[in-house]
Every structure is written in structure tokens, then in C-alpha cells.
Amino acid sequence: MAETTVKPWGETTIVGKPIPRVDGYERVSGAAVYPVDVILPNMLYGAILRCPHPHATVKKIAVGKAREMPGVRAVLTDADPEARIGWYAGSGPPGPGGRQMLSRLFDPHCRYEGEEVAAVAAESPQQAWDAVRAIQVEYETQPFVTGMEEALKPGAPPVQEGGNLVGAPRETKRGDVAKGFAEADVVLEETYRSSCEIHAPMEVHGSVAQWDGDRLTVWDTNQGPFGIQSDLATALKMPLSKVRVISKYMGGGFGSKQEAGKYTVIAALLAQKTARPVKLFLTREETFLCVGNRPAHIMKLKAGVKKDGTLTAFQLTGLGEVGAYPSDTSVGYQIGDLYQCPNVHIVETQAYIHAGRNRAFRAPSFPQGNWALEQMMDALAEKIGMDPVELRLKNIPAVCQMQQNKPYTSTGLRECLTEGARAFGWKEARSRPKGDGPWVRGVGVASSIWMYQNAGNSTAIVKLFADGSANLNIGAADLGTGTNTVMAMVVAEELGVPLDRIQIENADTGTTQYTDVSGGSKTVLADSPAVRLAALEVKARLLEMAAEQLKVPLSDLVFKDGAILAQGGAQKLAITELRRLRGQMLVGVGRRGPDPTDKVVRPFSTDFAEVEVNTRTGEMRVLRMLAAHDSGRVMNLLTYRNQVFGGVVMGVGFAMTERRIMDSSTGKMVNANFHDYKIPTAKDAPGEMTCLPIDPHDTECNINGVKGIGEPATIAVGAAIANAFYHATGIRVTAAPITAAQVLTLLAQRKTRG
């Protein structure tokens, strides 16, 4: 079925409805076997010895004692030739992209607390951990640096050869900012900071590896089995066809499970060495050190605005803290694209420190950039005496200024602002008395834009059985977001097959079709067009069969509710009545077409927050949030809302509670556990959350009109809360998170200043 002949959906009967997850029962009852639940006959357990120092060289490893421990079947170190695997520690093993190798699987040069030094496989997890403790390592500790500003000072201990600057500064420039600032009536400058946040998906990272001759099968918790397959094949020098990765269920990743981990390769090597299946899952404490994070940022932003609200210039100097290995953290995109602004100058640098590395984290870099930009917009609005919603409306972008001024396929930002403000009761809330204390109230607003990279290739297969039930075959990992449900709904929409009669095969490189990683908020827009095309191919075959059986021309037939109608409904043929379908199965194959090249696909959002702050204790409560999102068509209102609410709560974590704390005297993370690292609980979630979808009926982004919601859901939440905090207290908190301790300090400073 050619994509070009497919018309956008008009009214839909299934797509868009709030339908519970097709696998909801399995997931909540415990019947679903996640990778962490996999138990194979004869299975061993792996554990990893990690460097306890922020910076050290391994001088000697003695494994003799560990090898003699009860139950131990293998010990693996850098001395084993098969473990000498080059590693680009920023982003998994070297792949087709030609990633640079900066390290090894067990590199004797350890650049952060938690780097892999050795591994063990034993009959039980306890025996494996006992053996890990029995490995004797002689380290030569070295000077370290745990903060990005210190790292760039002369004489700071270098993390990588060549110093602590990660490559050359990145620069984006348009217009003339000096001219822009000269034309402005108000120019403001502020330095904003954000803290390092740690990925904390429900299922910890890990793999189960099993060899069958020269064939490797890995049950791995990840966001895209095909990427893991490719990473493993490269690391182990195997053909892709011999590596099977299965990720049917997975318990969350948020960006930290897009590539193979060292643990994946280590599990495979231990399994090979012992000729037994090996299960290697990290402990929660390990994941705090080594599976990734949203890096801290320092963002110096200068902005100019005219009295009428016209933005004249933005200038950003950004510094990101990438950790011990390189990966991109630039935050400037929104500053160049969310609002119409002729003069923009962005310079971003990144610094190495001796700590775990940055990794994609739900809208990588965007909440940080938004924290700066959207608080700045709030401050500009106040200075010129304009409502912050009005200031944003005044500067809606007409075209994508960051991509050759191409038009967007759709822009719902205006509606996010106006309809969101109406639904939130913005005007009334903004003018309501704030209270006489100690609890004071305020409301704030922030908007966002999100960019996905290329949505990639995607192939889907739909098979229709003779009884009218169907099989859907897709490669995508369902991160818990409801991907499988949405895809099944597309089949149900086109073929009228009830959801409970659709069997789904997904996320298995051995049996399902190639698709790109589930990430970048692009899973539904990458995969659902392929699924729809596959279903349409099946539908076309069914209509041909019906035309032959009824002896009527194809043009007289319509497909409705899983049956074929002829002569305006005078004749009706159920799928099961098709004689030629008996004794066979129809197979439809759908392939997604390319992204539009002449236009740019971008989701937009506006978040509104109401907070209550105790000016005596520094506590803050988020009373309510309204999130208005232009993410194109809503495919399933229930899972869409779930995404938005999850994103809001994650944004609360960014704004109020989450922060990696490094001890600069020991170089260790001091809060590497769920007690001291605070992810929001149900009690921290906003008292009331409202999701307001804005559907601009985009017919150009792709055949299904979807633009993506996963990451936009969290981007502007933090800044909206900070702006509400300012409205309530008159205090601008430039550093995230807004903890009670920080608020008390700021309140005390205000008092002393009078």
C-alpha cells in the first residue's frame, strides 16, 4: 500500500478513545515476564565489581580467592582477552555511526565512582556478591574534580586527555544581538542553574544472556531491541543474524536504555565462559552511579524586549556537566525556536567531571533550557507590565527559525496558550489575593517546543486469520507508555477486529520487524503509520476477495465495522464468510514513509501551575497543574493523559526535589539511594492535574497526524512551577531544584536586605 494514496483519518471509531492498555492485566497482576523476571533452567547470576574511587588506576587485581569461593563459576577482568572490548563510554560500544573509543569494558583507568573493574558469575546472587567482595584490587588513586566550574579552572585534574572541555564550543548565530539589545526597551540578564537528575525507572538495568552454539539470545530491558542487537554484534564481532534480543516487556527507561550497557556485554561473556545462562541485573544503588543522568547546567541568558512585547534578542552562554565521557547536552534549541526573535546568539560548552555520564533523559536538555528561557520570559513580561501569556502570544513563531525558516506542519502554540489559560482560569487566578501568610499562593505559566530527530525506518506486519482474528507484528519496545495498545487500536480501526482478538508480537529481533528505538517521543509517529499501511493492505485483499465472491466491481464495495458492504449496504459479507480466506492467512506489510523534508514537525505545549508556599518553613506544594499540548492527533486519550501526568510529576522532581549530590572531598555521590535522592511520590504530585489536548489536525506530519507527547509532557513543568513560585513570593529562584532549604535561605536574604 503506497503511503501517498492514504488519506488522513476523518472521524474515527477506535483511535482517540480512552481505551485501557491491552496488556494492563498482565502488567499489574505480575503475569507479565519482564527481563528482570526471567528465570532460565541452569541459570547463573552475575555481579560487577565497581571502582569505589572517583579517579584511580587499577594496578593489580587478584582474583584467586574469589575463584575459590563457593558457587563461583567464572571471574572476568581486563586480563581476559575476550573482555578487551573497546568502549565508547558516552554511548555504548562503537557502532555504525563510527563512535570514538575512549575506554574498554574493564578499563584500568577508572574515571568515576562506579566504573566496571571485574565481574563474577555464580550459582546464586549472594555467592556472586560475596565473590565480588573477595576480589582484591590495588588502586592508585588520583586527583579528581566533581564540579563543572572547578573542572575548567587551570590546573584542574583532567578527566580525559586534552583537558576538561568537551570539544569546541558550539555556536548558533542569527542576526545581530548587539543591534537587538540596542533596539530593546528592556534588557535583562540572569544566570540559571539546574541540577543533575538520575534516571530511576521502575525496572533496574540488566540482561539475561544465553548461548545456543554460536547463537546468542538476550532478554534485555531496553527501549529498542534492534539497537541493542547492533551494539552487541559490534562488541562481540558477531553477525546481526546470530544475536537475538527480546524486550517484550520493559519497566521504563526515560532515555537510559537506548543502548547496550556494559552489563549486557558482560552477561554475554560470562554466559559464554560458563556455557550457562547468566542473569546480570544491577542493584538500585549501582544505577545511581552508572546508567546515566540529566546533566547539570549553568545558563547565562540575556534577553531584550520592546515595550510592546516584541522580542529583539537572546544571548545564551551555556555550560553543561557531561560526566566522565562525552555526550551532547546543548540546551539552546528552544531559545532559538520557541519564539519569533530575529537576533540570537548561543554559545555552549561542556565540561568533563569525574562522575557518571550524561545520557538521554526524557527530552534531553530541554527542561534545562526551558527553565532559563521561560523564567526569563516571565521576568521580561513583568518588566514591561504585560501578562506573561500575552507576551508569549505576541511572539508565536511563524516558521522554524532553527531550520532554514521552513514552515511547521502545524503550530498549536497559540491554542495551547489561549485555551489553556481559559481552562485554567488564568486571569482570575492571576489577580486573586495571594494570602497573608504563612501560606501564600501564586500561578505561573511556561511553554515549550520539542524536536524529534529523524523518526527512522519502521516496518509492521498485520496477519489476518480465517476467523477474522489478527496478529500484529511490530519491533517496538513498549516502555509502559501503551505503544502496543495504540498500535492494536490502529488495526482495530482499519479492520474492525476487536482488540481482544488481536495478538501482538513485539520487540524481538528474532521474530519481529525492524524499527528504530522507542525514544524521542516518536514511537507512535514512527510505527503507527507502518501499522496502518499493513492493515490497509490486508483490507485491500479482503475487498478483492469480496468483489470476486459477490461478482460486483471493487468500486461498489465499502469496508465497515469488520464487514464488507455492497450496493450501499444491501449486501453484507462478514470476513468469516469470505470463501477464499478459508485455509489461508492474509499478510499485510506496511513500511513507514520518510519524514516531510520541506516542512518541520514540532509538538508545542503550555503548562499552567498554581502553587502554595509557606514563607515560614520554605515548603512548597503544587496545588494544580494544567498541561495544554499540541501533539497532533491523540491516539488514545487514556494513555495520552497518563503520559502527560507522568511528565508533570517528573517535572515536579526536576523543579523541586531531584539532585545528585557529589561530595567534593571524597568525589563520591552521597545520595545514591531512594531515601536520599528524592523522586516525587504520590504526596508530592500536584493536587489536581488537567490534560488539555490541542489537536491542530495536522495532515502533513505523517499519515496519522501524530506529533508525539512523551517528552513534551515534562519540558515546561519546572519553569511553570518556578514562575508560580515567583508570583506567590516575589522571589526568583534561578537554581533548580527549589528545595525548602534554598527557599529559607532566599527568604532570609530578603529579610536582611529589608
Q: Which is nearer to ligand MOS, 304 or 708 (CB)?
A: 708
Q: Extract the C-alpha cell encoding 572.
A: 453484507
Site map for ligand MOS, 203-242, x if CB under 6 A?
Answer: --------------------x-------------------
Cα separation, 160 vs 107, in Å, equals: 13
Q: How far is the CB of 636 from ligand MOS (least distance, A)?
A: 19
Residue closer to ligand MOS (CB basis): 325 or 361: 361
If the CB atoms of residues 114 and 253 are measured against ligand MOS, the closer one turns out to be 253
Instruction: Tell me how far apart the terminal alpha carbons of the chain are, to the nearest angstrom.
Output: 72
Provide φ and ψ at 335, rounded to 5°: -65, -30
Q: What single-letter DSSP state applies at residue 35?
A: G
Nearest-approach distance from CB 207 to ligand MOS, in angstroms: 18
Nine-digit cell at 534? 499493513
- Cα 201 to chain centroid distance, Å, stands at 11
Closest CB to ligand MOS among 592 and 727? 592
Nearer to ligand MOS among residue 451 and residue 530 (C-beta): 451
Q: How far is the CB of 227 from ligand MOS (least distance, A)?
A: 11
Window 461-520: residues binding ligand MOS (CB under 6 A): 519-520
Nearest Cα to Cα of residue 10 among 699, 706, 620 = 699
Interatomic CA distance for residues 736 and 299, integer angstroms = 12
For ligand MOS, the closer of residues 180 and 364 by Cβ is 364
Q: Helix 637-652 to helix 717-729 angle, to the nearest 10 degrees?
A: 50
Q: How far is the CB of 502 from ligand MOS (least distance, A)?
A: 26
Question: Which residue's CB is nearer to ligand MOS, number 258 or number 329?
Answer: 258
Stretch 246-265 residues interacting with ligand MOS (CB under 6 A)? 253-255, 258
Residues 512-531 that bind ligand MOS (CB under 6 A): 519-520
Residue 543: helix, strand or coil by DSSP?
helix
User: Which single residue brings its beta carbon nearest to ligand MOS?
Assistant: 255
Q: Cite the beta strand spans of 253-373 per DSSP E.
A: 278-281, 293-294, 297-305, 311-323, 343-352
Please enumerate in sequence order all residues whose Cβ is within 8 A of that of 143, keeping only pairs 6 or more positions apart, or say none: 55, 157
Which range, of 110-118, 338-346, 359-367, 573-581, touches ligand MOS by CB under 6 A? 359-367
**Angle of helix 225-236 versus helix 262-274 axis, rounded to 10:** 60
Number of amino acids touching ligand MOS (CB under 6 A): 11
Q: How far is the CB of 483 from ligand MOS (least distance, A)?
A: 12
Rounded CA separation 413/391 (Å): 13
Q: Does 603 bind ligand MOS (CB under 6 A)?
A: no
Contact 471, 505 (CB under 8 A): yes
Closest alpha carbon to 85 in 262, 285, 314: 262
Q: Determine which residue in the list 357, 362, 599, 659 makes contact with ligand MOS, applying CB under 6 A.
A: 362
Mark out the alpha helices in 160-280 (DSSP H runs): 177-183, 225-236, 262-274
Closest CB to ligand MOS among residues 108, 201: 201
- Judged by beta carbon, residue 245 or residue 536, the one nearer ligand MOS is 245
Q: CA-CA distance, 119 to 127, in Å (whole number)?
A: 12
Which residue lies nearer to ligand MOS by CB, 197 or 508?
Answer: 197
**Which range of residues in 116-124, 207-215, 361-369, 634-642 is near ligand MOS by CB under 6 A?**
361-369
In contact, 669 and 113? CB cutoff 8 Å: yes
Q: Please, what is the minimum distance in Å from the beta carbon of residue 360 to ligand MOS?
A: 4
Which residue, 108 or 653, is less far from ligand MOS as judged by CB? 653
318 binds ligand MOS (CB under 6 A): no
Residues 6+ apart with CB under 8 A from 95: 230, 231, 234
Establish if 364 lies at the interface with ligand MOS (CB under 6 A).
yes
The least distance separating ligand MOS from the CB of residue 640, rounded to whole angstroms, comes to: 17
> DSSP letter at 37?
G
Out of 139, 263, 361, 608, the only residue in the binding site for ligand MOS (CB under 6 A) is: 361
**Cα 311 to chain centroid, rounded:** 31
In angstroms, give the least distance from the CB of 700 to ligand MOS: 23
Using the minimum distance from each CB to ligand MOS, give the nearer residue, 470 or 526. Answer: 526
Instruction: Give least dist CB 288 to ligand MOS, A.
Output: 18
Cβ closest to ligand MOS, residue 144 vs residue 645: 645
How many Å apart are CA 244 and CA 264, to the nearest integer? 13
Torsion of CA 91, 97, 103, 106, to 10 degrees: 70
> Which of 608, 606, 619, 607 has its CA nearest to residue 729?
619
Q: Which of 360, 372, 379, 491: binder of ligand MOS (CB under 6 A)?
A: 360
Please provide the DSSP assignment of 616-663 as one string: TT--EEEEEEEEEEE-BS-SBHHHHHHHHHHHHHHHHIIIII----EE
Question: What's the rounded Cα separation, in Å, for the pair 340 and 318?
Answer: 21
Nearest to ligand MOS of 258, 272 (CB atom):
258
Nearest approach, Cβ of 476 to ligand MOS (angstroms)? 12
Evaluated on CA atoms 572, 576, 579, 581, the torsion sign reads positive
Minimum distance, C-beta of residue 258 to ligand MOS, in the bound complex (Å): 6
CB of 479 to ligand MOS, least distance (A): 8
> What number of residues does the chain have?
754
Provide, rounded to whole angstroms, the least separation between the CB of residue 251 and ligand MOS: 14
Using CB under 6 A, list all residues that contact ligand MOS. 223, 253-255, 258, 360-362, 364, 519-520
